[in-house]
Amino acid sequence: MYKKVELKDGFVGMERKVSEMWKQKEIVKKNFAMNEGKEYFTFFDGPPTANGKPHVGHIETRVIKDIIPRYKVMRGYKVIRKAGWDTHGLPVELEIEKSLGISGKEQIEEYGVENFVKKCKESVFTYVHMWEEMTNKVGFWLDMEHPYVTYHNEYIESVWWALKQMWEKGLLYEGHKVMPYCPRCGTALSSHEVAQGYKDVKDLTCIAKFKVLDKKDTYILAWTTTPWTLPSNLALAVNKSYEYAEVKANVGTDDEPQYENYILAKDLIDEVLRETPYELVKTFKGEELLGTKYEPLMPFAKVDGKAFEVIHGDFVTLTEGTGVVHTAPAYGEDDSLVCKQNGIAFVNLVDKSGNFVPEVEPWAGRFVRDCNEDICKWLKERNKLFSKEKHVHSYPHCWRCDTPLLYYPKESWFVAMSKLRDELVENNSKVNWYPETIKTGRFGNFLENVIDWGISRDRYWGTPLPIWTCEDENCGHRECIGSIEELKEKAINCPDDIELHKPYIDDVYLKCPKCGKKMKRAKEVIDCWFDSGSMPFAQWHYPFENKEIFDNNFPGDFISEAVDQTRGWFYTLMAIGTCLFGTSPFKNCIVLGLVLNEQGQKMSKSKKNGVDPMELLDTVGADATRWHFYVSSSPWLPKRLGIKNVQETRKRFLKYIVECVFILCFICRNR
């Protein structure tokens, strides 16, 4: 709970009296009712997750969100300010796992999916009273009595409609791809989720020695930041346009020399062999290496097909490493694509929990990232390790549970965003971004390199993927259901009061129109970011009702969230708006900078250096806090926040007011 603070500040006391007066006289409701029949100005509120406590960053977003709609109402516009709650997904599931003392999908299923889902549903508004209290204290006028809630059947039905539209446009498909995967949560993540979870970590890297077939003491040197993928190596990638070299290196001593020949990029020789004497044997283009065969590095992969040869990869660079990339097609998107293009076989030696399978005998059953040191030791004992060292690099972690991600082969459902790349870029060019640099920088670059959106999740609490497949594999007919009415029309056994969640929806079967057999729903739920990105229409249960109010309020005029949402909510809004309506769903966006503590440090729970939002508001008041966010720096810049610097901001403001009053009095007296 938040710390209780005794109200000693007179300004805070006055604010409380004003707030009570607003409540008694229903001032906020009257403001919402103003300007009926006038031109709309549309504000979209990004939905927070109500099973987590608000923090001071949420004060910033509410302060900035409030000022524009408030101003527009005073200018005579009709402004709807509908609150929303994001209620699905991993954030909720992980909290329930903690509360039940369980961990992972296996224990969830032992507990019972129905019981687990009920717990999730019961928990989503755990801290809603804190959100409401903070929102009221800070003076953010928002309609919290009639919010949109993403777990409501009406909201889910609108999301189903959106998916059906994508299905009919050929944008929704099932595919097998190597995807970022959280072994803790047991599900794949989308690219925009991954973008939110990168951390700088110090990992063990190594350069392994791949023995060229039928050439004595000749090795290709390949660098990897993920030694755990080496048991699954099937190819080595070079860039055919680069210069490579073969060198004769003395790996012994001056008194007792011992020579091995190494192949690597010419420009990287001095860096790689900085402590190893060598002489140049020959240089050649990378193209001459293509097709070179080498011995398997490790004996665990039982390969049926083409493998263990050098191929070309455009992704190979000379910025670090050896200019040769170890390639394991099961654990990297680039690896997977280049191996497919070259007809290389496929091997996966890791299970869904991120542990090595029994075939990898030395480390069977162990989490792969815990085996890096042992793998390097194994290589060294067999003269297959050239070097190893710790290396700081940016590595993706699960945005919710903080587990390091693996790239892993998965069947998943995708929205073909790559087909809409040009439309996305064009729609983005019409948005007014504050700051302008977001348009072509952080957000624009993401759109330029957009990949297909993996939307399915192997989880439990979420909007169910509305795709049914015939149980007869020879038939294979599939249908995407776009409404409750369509579901009841085509189902064999749909209850009138159907609950559109697992496990209830999984018990509803359709009759296959082709062969007459049963059709079963795909087991997955969808990315909860798809829910929040659907809010412009789903908040109104469009297209099933409220068509006029939607038409009058789409696209939205104004949105604002913190900078991390450029690859979160901002992206999913743009992606879905482009898919369904061919336009950006928002016209203007203010991107907010990080809120730092008084020392300019990022606030962190682990460091306990944050500011309690309620303590701040109870100590210095909402007006001073709001004013601090408005004047301390531009909204998109990082800003320091603490009780002392907000008090300083208030003093400067009051001093300015006093000076203005003094000047006015002086002018009036001397007339």
* Secondary structure, 3-state, 425-493: HHHHHCCEEECCHHHHCHHHHHHHCCCCEECEECCCCCCECCEEEECCCCCCCEEECCCHHHHHHHECC
pLDDT at 512 over 50: yes
Percent with pLDDT over 90 in the chain? 57
Which residue among 231, 565, 618, 639 is the active-site one?
A: 565
Active-site pick, 529, 540, 618, 635: 529
Q: How far apart are CA 629 and CA 648, in angstroms?
A: 13
Question: 671 Cβ partners below 8 Å, 6+ apart?
Answer: none
Distance of CA 550 to the CA centre of its chain: 28
- What is the pLDDT at residue 656? 66
Please return the burial class of 98, using the count of CB atoms within 10 Å of its CB with bins 0-12, 13-18 and 19+: exposed
Which tens digit of pLDDT belongs to each residue from 259-311? 999 999 999 999 999 888 999 999 999 999 999 999 999 999 889 889 999 99
Class of domain 10-150+543-659: alpha beta
pLDDT beyond 80 at 654:
no
- Residue 143 a catalytic site member: no
In this model, does residue 195 exceed pLDDT 80?
no
Q: Which of 22-36, 46-60, 457-471 has the highest mean pLDDT?
A: 457-471
Q: What is the pLDDT at residue 234? A: 94
The pTM for the full model equals: 0.81
Q: So where are the chain's domains? A: 10-150+543-659, 198-396
Write out pLDDT tens, residues 603-620. Answer: 766 667 678 888 888 888
Query: In the annotation, is 47 catalytic?
Result: yes
Active site residue 458: no
- Point out the catalytic residue in the list 86, 335, 531, 557: 86
Q: Which of 47, 69, 404, 585 is catalytic?
A: 47
Same CATH fold assignment for domains 10-150+543-659 and 198-396: no
The tens digit of pLDDT for each residue in 373-419 reads 999 999 999 999 999 988 776 778 886 777 788 777 778 899 999 99
90 has a pLDDT exceeding 70: yes
Count CB-CB contacts under 10 A for residue 565: 23
From the list 29, 199, 547, 602, the catalytic residue is: 602
Position 8 scores a pLDDT of 47
Mean pLDDT of the region 206-233: 93
Residue 605 annotated among the catalytic residues of the structure: yes
Give the active site residue among 85, 569, 618, 636. 569
Q: Which fold would CATH assign to domain 198-396?
A: Isoleucyl-tRNA Synthetase; domain 2 (3.90.740)
Confidence class for position 670, pLDDT limits 50, 70, 90: low
> Over the stretch 541-558, which tens digit does the pLDDT of each residue have?
999 999 999 999 999 999
Give the whole-angstrom CA distance, residue 34 versus residue 20.
21
Active site residue 223: no
Beta-bridge partners for 476:
none
The one-character DSSP state at 558 is: B
Residue 192: its pLDDT value, please?
64
Average pLDDT of every residue of the chain: 89
The b/e string for 200-236 (b: 16+ C-beta within 10 A; e otherwise) is eeeebbbbbbbbbeeeeebbbbbbbbbbbbbbbbbbb
